[in-house]
Structure 1
């Protein structure tokens, strides 16, 4: 098996074919294309870059989600119905039947005009799109965000595991290029690619640096906080694998040493009440603000209320994530304190844009936060480096162009090359 390659990548050789008309396929009903989930934000980010480049985009999905955002209004949405089911086994079969309809839909799209690209977000029962693209001679990108077979078996319920494995192998094996969000995910995909494991590449998540920017000078303090408050920010679903217990313990320590400290929790989830109860029990409840669930459009102003952002993940055996939140922190010009696990050291430039601490260690996390509370100059330097890294390496325009390069195609505006011209001076903000 050939080891998956790691970006950055530079296209070489013959000029790449131009993408003018593309199909984006997502048949995972757990991912509402126009929803609020992190996966939905990811989908919309890729769509947005294609639209910005002038590509005519057709979305094929089993779950539309909500209304199409105004800047994506030109996208055509083709919904694939999924039959109702009473059991998990019936649900799995219904999703396979739904995926089987994708080929005919792509035939219809191609009959109306040439398709230059099929871009699919890997789903547990999706195999038709990349197979159709291979047979039609159309370049395809399969984006793999998680080892879904193992994830479904471990955290939910999976009846036909062998069938799910066959779908994974078929989809991965047929794609022109497979882009995985982390090295563990790429390894998982390469193991299922057979002789085509060399077509699997590591490509981390990205961020829209035009939408998320550093706070303007003289930003307002967090609600209820003094103007000189030191605000620590966490964004994400409030679930156990985000290390929220460690965060609260660390923050209570920070609060004792930095009385002006505040903790802003953005997001909702099953751990919300437990987190707030823990903060109250430790005497820090009055310094914690929890926003609950918010729409993606509400995230930028909340980032502007922070001085430091955190990603306190525990030491998970299967840490295969590429957290969107971290790239949003960077784009906002925030210094980041994160656990030294998985892809996070690389995302933070091994300490050049933030501080790395041992996972599961509230004392180390608190010490890093207190140091930054007491060193505003260090926060400024780290924040400027964070913004520069976000623009130059993690902007979605760069990420999408790299994905397309692996499939041998590009957009007619040369997305990656255009980022500097489209956003002049951005690398020096922060």
Structure 2
């Protein structure tokens, strides 16, 4: 089967270091491993192409980094170009990672009759409005309606995300039928890519892997290291907008932190090696803001054989026991 995998989210480089990038690569990898031909259609590439995906068919329709209103329109136009390309190339199945302004799945399935699967990873409309900038909220809502209505199945990474999709599409004419096509499929982890490795025999290494953003709680982790009664080594693997402030905080508190920066997914095992504990210190932001997480980092820590310390929020309690 030829599968067109589509990602029209300009915030996700398909060959990047973000968790979303890893997720795309792993889904593509698994589809190929069971014999399917996969073509990837995206708006942003990234520079960290894994060795086993160098032969992946990739089609790019770039989105310019412009003002929010223009950027939203540019995303829609890029999706339209991808629709034309997929129809010309042919596909037996369309698999699209939901993004705010792409109706590629709906347009392709309507034109060709092939089935489509929509993957929803976050309540993007709410997230974009809260943390970034959303100009055309009405248009984004219409996109979600069209995509979910057209999809043969909508797969969501957590129950809260699935509930969000149901609420947002409750006014569809065939809402009862749509609800039956919305499913929860939690994130997984590749136990081929990540395997247990020996701990450092001379020190306890506590490691965080992820993008350095406020909702990951890395500032709290550094504060905890400063207050710790026992000595342990702190390693932070990842980059992001909080990097400078976290470095300054560590210096101010006298905490020695091994900042590794952004690391290609295939190199994560090398940088995790020697660790004893993996941490996911999500802060409690109140309400349901963060409850949709299906934290890949926790699964990766477990696959690496690490003890895990994580906040009792979101989906974490479903993965860990005291």
Q: Distance in 2 between matches of 1:104 and 1:275?
A: 44
Cα displacement (A) at 1:107: 1.8
CA contact (8 A) 1:134 1:175 kept: no
State the match for 2:99 in structure 1.
123
Question: Following TM superposition, by how much is the alpha carbon of 1:235 offset from its aligned partner in structure 2, in angstroms?
Answer: 1.1
Match of 1:87 among 29, 50, 67: 67
CA deviation string 1:100-149 (max 9, x = no partner): 22332222122xxxx33211010111112234225533222111111111
**2:81 alignment counterpart:** 101
Count of aligned residue pairs for this structure pair: 313
Q: Does 1:211 align with 2:193?
A: yes
In 1, are the aligned partners of 2:50 and 2:266 still within 8 Å (CA)?
A: no
Gaps of 5+ in 1: 1-19, 222-226, 356-430
Q: Which has the higher helix share?
A: 1
Q: CA offset at residue 85 of structure 1?
A: 7.2
Q: Give 1:81 shift.
A: 4.7
Tell me, what secondary structure is at the counterpart of 1:190? helix
Tell me what 1:295 maps to: 264
C-alpha distance in 1 between matches for 2:296 and 2:61: 28
TM-aligned CA distance change 1:248 to 1:99, over 3 Å:
same
- Could you tell me whether the CA contact under 8 Å between 1:266 and 1:292 is conserved in 2? yes
Q: For 1:74 and 1:133, how far apart are their aligned partners in 2?
A: 27
The residue aligned with 2:249 is 278
**Structure 1 position 159 matched with structure 2 position 135:** yes
State the distance in 1 between where 2:67 and 2:62 align. Answer: 18
C-alpha separation in 1, matches of 2:243 and 2:83: 43
Matched, 1:65 2:65: no
Determine the structure 1 residue equivalent to 2:318: 346
Which residue of 302, 323, 327 maps to 2:295?
323
Provide closer, same or farther for how the CA distance between residues 91 and 249 of structure 1 changes in structure 2, counting only shifts above 3 A. Answer: closer
Cα deviations by residue, 1:207-250 (Å, 9 ceiling, x for unpaired): 1110100004xx5x3xxxxx331111111122221122321222
Give the alignment partner of residue 306 of structure 1, picking from 275, 280, 293. Answer: 275
8 Å contact kept, 2:105–2:118: no
For residue 265 of structure 1, report the CA deviation from its aligned partner.
Answer: 1.3
Q: What's the CA shift for 1:175?
A: 0.6
* SS class of match (2:180): helix
The CA distance in 2 between the partners of 1:161 and 1:198, in whole Å, is 26
Partners of 2:5 and 2:95 within 8 A in 1: yes
Measure how far apart 1:42 and its partner are.
Answer: 1.0
Q: CA deviation at 1:182?
A: 1.5
Contact conserved, 2:95 with 2:119, CA < 8 A, in 1? yes
Give the 5 Å matches for 1:29-428.
29-66=10-47, 68-82=49-63, 84=64, 86-110=66-90, 115-134=91-110, 136-193=112-169, 194=172, 195=175, 196-216=178-198, 221=200, 227-254=201-228, 256=229, 258-259=230-231, 261-283=232-254, 285-286=255-256, 288-316=257-285, 317=287, 318-319=289-290, 320-348=292-320, 351=321, 355=322
Q: With structure 1 as the length reference, what TM-score do the two structures score? A: 0.68
Q: Which runs of 5+ in 2 are unaligned?
A: none
What's the RMSD between the two structures over aligned residues? 2.0
Deviations 1:361-418 (A, max 9, x none): xxxxxxxxxxxxxxxxxxxxxxxxxxxxxxxxxxxxxxxxxxxxxxxxxxxxxxxxxx
For the structure 1 residues 32 and 277, does the alpha-carbon distance in structure 2 shift closer, same or farther, using more than 3 Å as the test? closer
Q: Residue 90 of structure 1 aligns to a residue in which SS?
A: helix
Q: Rate the CA distance shift 1:281–1:186 in 2: closer, same or farther, 3 A.
A: same
Contact kept, 8 Å, 2:278 with 2:308, in 1: the verdict is yes
Once residues 275 and 66 of structure 2 are traced to their aligned partners in structure 1, the CA distance between those partners, rounded to angstroms, is 46
CA deviation after TM superposition for structure 1 residue 306, in Å: 0.8
CA distance in 2, matches of 1:278, 1:85: 31
CA radius of gyration, larger in: 1
